[in-house]
Structure 1
């Protein structure tokens, strides 16, 4: 019995010794962790970003808790880093001219917090202050949800800005000596930007509040110069801290193309889809042209982040030249491809504004799977025809959504419900619409599911965009008037942004993109 009790006591004693040793190591390690230095920097002197650089004496992980003096009840927490001696924490979406308090949290056996420190963000530059959302215009709370509206400026210096529902800039990235023609969110929550050198082509970025001049000059060629209004000579990817991950300066000698235009998307493999000009030497003497002439078209390419072409598709490869009666007339711009989208089955949609059609292209074979629109493969009543459309995309429910500019449309098939006396020299005028279609690819039938006619004052002969928001409202850009609208599906305008420049399009940035940078408690 005594031996048995002795064994029990020895086991207990051994366990206690082990616990003491573990505890000694535990507390020694905890006490050993020290923050050697904390340094704060504002990347590019930005009012929206702050970097916190932390050096430790041990390789452990950290995070940062921070809050503003103006709203201390809301705490922000950055994700926990990997173990290391040196850490850089990126604080994003900060408010300008605001004091923030913060603590560094060291994650070891116990979480240790540094003392509370503070920093003050910079004020906005005068060039960034603009009355984006006017109080006397629609500005319904919650119309755009919790996300931001992204716009880009094509003049110099070019920039990308994200604006909240109150008309405040919350995120900003600037590039000197070159403009930003287009920007889009990628699958890895970065921003893909198309950069344009304004010196190559004249750009008028002042919104045209009246379309009189444009309607009186309908014969002006759609493309201008080597690059064109919607073209670019550089391509870059920018993360949400404002860091450029890579940049391509397009060079025809090394890449085989000299510019890209209109649209760009990143696929799931992180390759880039975009559009290029695709000239074809051709004998147009039979159509009234020259023996040695050139047909100007477009091509869809897939490239890597060095600009190397991995795949190319051109309409010329299957074009019926003999039956094309407008070949010479439109030799300067036969297709005017101006939008692309990746479908759920990993193929591509492209928009041909000249032909008033949407094409589906097989991503592997390059075969045209179908054409939708006037004279296309689907049954479509003439009242649903679209004209010189832009920004074709696919809604969450699978419907095709587009901004129907209405340019070059015949008056007898365009719905003209309004008359706005004195605005146009022609008593019959055009309107832009937001259209949605549900396509049955098996039966080759279509149904118009959305037909919203914009007020005549918001008609845009060029550019424009329309997307569904997560709350089922629509984000619509009337580019030529400088307006970004949020509308419900009945066409009621709930919110309006007034831009001082022509926005090529507006894109929605959901609040979920910031999950890699902070969470709120």
Structure 2
């Protein structure tokens, strides 16, 4: 799908709400690069990101060097390098809000030589949206983190959007959905884009009716609305994109007036190519005692099959992506033998971590009012699980619903205590390394090593 920014560029200087063009110039004096023009595109939904378009007389690679106007050029940041072509659209990130910036175009030759061309130019970044300033208070969230990556927050309150925090606790990127809509969840894709579930209908649960794939620079890559093509059921809680660009999502199902869960696979054109339902597994149902299994997370395993967390069952299933057969069930009354001390309750965010173990956020309940982080080494041949991590979070981090947990590259654990609005880094003994706080619940959070592709 043609990106929003590309469309606006084609009608340069035509007024469009929310889009600003600045700094148009022409430079025919530089023989090394023959820079013809540059201009800046800003958008109110991405206040800490900017597009800079530049054109050369001949094809070449390019990048942008930029720095706050009040600071020294020696501390400048640079964009990623673009491909060889005449016309470039380069995205720059991690801007400070409401700040004047200087920038230069850099011509990159075939042998990698970088030459600054044209004049120093300028733009002004936008303001962080009010929903984010109300949700995340900068002076309460100061970090000293050694890991170089970023933390993606998915807030659970409305109004909301998405944002990334850097290793100092500062907001590095943020995105707001269209007015009167809400982000339900989001995942990074194998392409480095974001797949976002959006709700246009004020659904009180975790359901959405729009699947949007976008770059961090705001370029729309795909957009599917429920009721169009093969997207015939609402999506709830989670979805992933596979290496072929297919979207795999948890859906709501109905059978004999009973609610269930399903999986739908949409290809890159929005056509349905596979589906599955929990009713194919739950063949004996007593309506008097039945509860929806309540799928709340889905990941694509290393063998391309699906790992799905079912909250109401206190189980994690592995489902064959071709046959729909349930390969194993980990948890209460499951098919995998596991230690009784590691039985989990109403879990979220089940996945295979970097150590090849099945990891999850064990929410707990009134009968056991504390949350844990668990991981299991699972022998899929013998269907036996050995507990690898059994970490109890502090009492004030108990979250009966939602939440996430993942293993960080340094061996520590990142946990979103959803209902307390806390993101915690803890060591494997449970000792807190740092905490970030929000004003209302966090649906989930993840560590992203290199979101900007530099």
* TM-score normalised according to structure 2 size: 0.85
Structure 2 counterpart SS, 1:457: helix
Aligned twin of 2:250: 275
Superposed, which structure 2 residues align to 1:11-50 within 5 Å? 31=31, 34-44=34-44, 46-50=46-50
Structure 1 residue 462, shift from structure 2 partner: 0.9
Contact 1:257 1:276 in 2 (8 A): no
Counterpart of 1:67?
67
CA contact (8 A) 2:52 2:89 kept: yes
1:506 and 2:438 are equivalent in the alignment: no
Residues 436 and 60 (structure 1 numbering): CA distance in 2 closer, same or farther, change over 3 Å?
closer
Q: How does 1:216-235 map to 2 (within 5 A)?
A: 229-235=205-211
Q: CA deviation at 1:189?
A: 0.6
2:413 pairs with one of 466, 474, 496: 474
CA contact (8 A) 1:156 1:177 kept: no
Structure 1 residue 133: Cα displacement: 6.3
Distance 2:32 2:374 in 1: 64
Long gaps (5+) in structure 2: 1-28
Q: Which residue of 2 aligns with 1:170?
A: 172
Q: Distance in 2 between matches of 1:280 and 1:464?
A: 29
Question: What secondary structure, in the 3-state scheme, does the structure 2 residue paired with 1:505 have?
Answer: strand
SS at match of 1:128: helix
1:372-387 to 2 correspondences below 5 Å: 372-387=330-345
Q: 288, 298, 304: which is aligned to 1:346?
A: 304
Q: Report the Cα distance in structure 2 between the residues aligned to 1:451 and 1:107, rounded to whole angstroms.
A: 51
User: C-alpha offsets along residues 368-416 of structure 1, whole Å, 9 cap, x if unaligned?
Assistant: 11111122222223221111111101111111110111127xx4xx5xx
Is contact 1:133-1:167 (8 Å) kept?
Answer: no
Larger relative contact order (CA 8 Å, sep ≥ 6): 1
Other-structure match for 2:280: 317
Answer whether contact 2:230 2:272 (CA < 8 A) is retained: yes
- The answer to whether structure 1 residue 329 and structure 2 residue 288 are counterparts is yes
Task: Using the TM superposition, give the Cα deviation of residue 235 of structure 1 relative to its aligned residue in structure 2, in angstroms.
Answer: 1.0
Q: Does 1:262 align with 2:237?
A: yes
Unpaired segments ≥5 residues, structure 1? 1-28, 202-228, 282-293, 415-429
Q: Distance in 1 between matches of 2:188 and 2:304?
A: 18
SS of aligned partner of 1:115: strand
Q: Residue 431 of structure 1 contacts residue 456 of structure 1 at CA under 8 Å; is this kept in 2?
A: yes
Pairwise mapping of residues 115-134 of structure 1 onto structure 2 (< 5 A)?
Answer: 115-130=119-134, 132=136
Shift of 1:191: 0.9
Kindly indicate which of the two structures has a greater share of residues assigned to strand: 2
Q: Is residue 380 of structure 2 the alignment partner of residue 441 of structure 1? A: yes
- Secondary structure at the counterpart of residue 73 of structure 2: strand
C-alpha distance in 1 between matches for 2:59 and 2:259: 59
Q: Are 2:262 and 1:299 aligned?
A: yes
Q: Of residues 111, 118, 137 in structure 2, which corresponds to 1:114?
A: 118
CA deviations over 1:219-260 (Å, ceiling 9, x no partner): xxxxxxxxxx11111110110102222211111x75363311
Q: Write the distance in 1 (CA, Å) between the matches of 2:208 and 2:152.
A: 19
| Residue 237 (structure 1) aligned to one of 208, 213, 217 | 213
Match of residue 14 from structure 2: none
Query: Residue 39 of structure 2 contacts residue 53 of structure 2 at CA under 8 Å; is this kept in 1?
Result: yes
Count of residue pairs brought into register by the alignment:
421
Q: Is the contact made by 2:312 and 2:346 (CA closer than 8 Å) also made in structure 1? A: yes
Closer/same/farther in 2, CA of residues 509 and 301 from structure 1, 3 Å limit? same
Of residues 263, 271, 279, the one that matches 1:308 is 271
- The answer to whether the 8 Å contact 1:132/1:168 transfers is no
In the other structure, the counterpart of 1:205 is: none
**Shift of residue 106, structure 1, vs aligned partner:** 2.8
More helix, by proportion: 1
Report the Cα distance in structure 1 between the residues aligned to 2:307 and 2:107, rounded to whole angstroms: 49
Deviation at 1:122, TM superposition (A): 3.1
**Per-residue deviation, residues 479-504 of structure 1 (Å, max 9, x unmatched):** 11111111111111112121122221
**Once superposed, what is the RMSD of the aligned Cα atoms?**
2.6
